[in-house]
Amino acid sequence: MALDVRLTHWLAYRLLRLTLVLFCVAALAFGLVMLSPIDPVDAYLGPQMAQVSPEQRALIAERWGFESPPAVQFGHWLRQLLSGELGWSHIYNQPVSEVISQRFSRSIMLLSSAWLLSVLVGFALGVIAGAKEGSTLDRVISGYAYITASTPTFWLGIVGVLLFSVYLGWTPICCAGPPGVLSQEVSLLTRLHHLALPVATLTLLGIASITLHTRTRMIALMRSEIATHAFAQGASRIDIAWRHGIRHASLPALTLAFASLGELFGGAILIEQIFAYPGLGQATVEAGLRSDVPLLLGIALFTALFVSVGNLIADSLYHLIDPRIEQGPL
């Protein structure tokens, strides 16, 4: 009972903190955009800037308040934000909220499947490597993890495209579906076919951190008194890894997986760029390159929310699951 009350308080505090952090992200992103040397009217006009006279430019600046001090503009933007209005994206000619929801619905397939696969595979590899520390298998697995941890995401994507799409022709070279076909008409199988290589690339890279983290946990466990006691009971290494190891390593692995959503998203930006996959990552790069300020701000806020919720889940896991919580988190 007392635990529930404490948990509720803790959660309320964390949610408050989350709101504060999001506010700070908004302020930071807005401040950075204000710093930009790019003229906001040019940014607003995009490619049409040559067709506009100086008078019209002044009108635009007045209409959007570009002349008022940054604090006033920020207040204005924040008020719009609270009423659910994220602004207009000039490169897609759509409201920002629509661009984000459309793009994210495509990205989520990529993100979630890569996340799930890398957690599962990474965890399994970590358990195996840690249980047999020093064996050939361990060396192969940790060597793989160290190498992929140093691999540039986008390079692996390029190599993947070269090998599987250009030479072997197993996977399509770009996009979320065949060119010229409306996205509603693309069958599930085709969709998966287009997703396969991006997901595989993102997974291969995501595995490393989970594997190394789990391996460290497993090695600590295999050297602990718990393992010695189990050995004394006649348990084999596999038995210990299965019964004790998975219990001890799963929570830290899951925590890490939730805490590293930001990195996953960063990887997705690069992967989507290489595979020309029309997701949120690609929209981010477009917004950055073509100075679509409202979209850039919207995406920054949205991803911050996404990552913060991941962090919140990561922190909560111990409070919710670990039986030792009465003694405080580990």
Partner 1 sequence: MLHIDRLTLQLPYYQPWWKRRWATCFEQISLSLMPGEIHAIVGASGAGKSLLACAIMGLLPEGAKTSGQLVFQSEPLTPARQCQLRGRQLALIPQSLSALDPLVRSQRQVSWAARRAGQAKANAWKSAGQALAHYQLNDAAQRAFPHELSGGMARRVLTAMAHVSHAQLIIADEPSVGLDPRQRERVMAALKALADQGKAVMLITHDLRHALPIADKVTIMRQGQCMETTTARAFQGSGDTLSSGYAKSLWQALPDNAFSLPVAQVAASKEPNSA
Partner 2 sequence: MSPTQPRLYAVAYIAFAVVLLSTLIASPLWLGAAPLQMQFDARLAPPSASHWLGTDALGREVWARTLAGLRLSFWVGISAALLGTAIALTLAAIATLSSKLDALISLLIDTLLSVPHLILLLLIAFALGGGTQAVIIAVALTHWPSLARVLRAELLTLRHAPYVCISRSLGKSRGFILLYHLLPHVLPHCLVGALLLFPHAILHEAALTFLGVGLDPNQPAIGVLLADAMRYITAGYWWLGVFPGLGLLLLVLCIDRLAFTLRRAL
Binding site for partner 1 (CB under 8 A): 224-226, 228-235, 239, 243-244, 247-248, 322-324, 326-327
Binding-site partner at residue 269 among partner 1, partner 2, none, CB < 5 to 8 Å by type: partner 2
89 CA to centre of own chain: 22
Q: Is the CB of residue 113 less than 8 Å from the CB of residue 199? A: yes
Q: Which does 234 bind (CB under 5 to 8 A by kind): partner 2, partner 1, none?
A: partner 1
Burial class of residue 269 in the structure, from the number of CB atoms within 10 Å of its CB (0-12 exposed, 13-18 middle, 19+ buried): buried
Token pair of 295, please?
């979209």
Q: Return the number of the residue (150 or 233) whose C-beta is nearest partner 1.
A: 233
H or E element that contains 89: strand 88-89
The least CB distance from residue 37 to partner 2, in Å, is 5
CB closer to partner 2, 154 vs 231: 154
Q: How far is the CB of 245 from partner 1 (least distance, A)?
A: 10
Do 262 and 307 touch, CB atoms closer than 8 A?
yes
Q: DSSP letters of 223-252?
A: TSHHHHHHHHTT--HHHHIIIIIHHHHHHH
Task: Say which entry of partner 2, partner 1, none residue 323 contacts (CB below 5 to 8 A, set by partner kind).
Answer: partner 1
Residue 125: CB minimum distance to partner 2, A: 19
What is the closest distance, in whole angstroms, from the C-beta atom of residue 17 to partner 2 in the complex?
7
Decide if 219 contacts 266 (C-beta within 8 A). Answer: no
Contact 96, 295 (CB under 8 A): yes
Report in angstroms how near the CB of residue 5 gets to partner 1 at its nearest: 20
**17 contact choice in partner 1, partner 2, none (CB below 5 to 8 Å, kind-dependent):** partner 2
Q: How far is CA 219 from the centre of its chain?
A: 28
Quick check: helix, strand or coil at residue 166? helix
Q: Which option in partner 2, partner 1, none does residue 201 bind, with CB closer than 5 to 8 A by kind? A: none
Return the one option of partner 2, partner 1, none that residue 296 interacts with (CB less than 5 to 8 A, by type): partner 2
In whole angstroms, what is the distance from residue 73 CA to residue 313 CA? 34
What residues pair up with 88 in beta bridges, in sequence order? 95
Judged by the rule CB under 8 A, the positions of this chain that interact with partner 2 are 17, 20-22, 24-25, 28-29, 32-33, 35-38, 134, 146-147, 149-156, 158-159, 161-162, 166-167, 173, 261-263, 265-266, 269-270, 273-274, 284-285, 288-289, 291, 296, 299-300, 303-304, 307-308, 311
Q: Which is nearer to partner 2, 95 or 288 (CB)?
A: 288
Q: If you count DSSP H runs as helices and E runs as strands, how many of each does the chain have, helices first?
A: 14, 2
For residues 43 and 293, the answer to whether their CB atoms sit within 8 Å is: yes
Question: Helix, strand, coil: what percent of the chain each, to 5?
Answer: 80, 0, 20
* Nearer to partner 2 (CB atom), residue 242 or residue 318: 318
Query: In angstroms, what is the minimal distance from the CB of 62 to partner 2?
Result: 24
Q: Which does residue 248 bind out of partner 1, partner 2, none, counting CB within 5 to 8 angstroms by kind?
A: partner 1
Minimum gap (Å) between residue 249 Cβ and partner 2 = 21
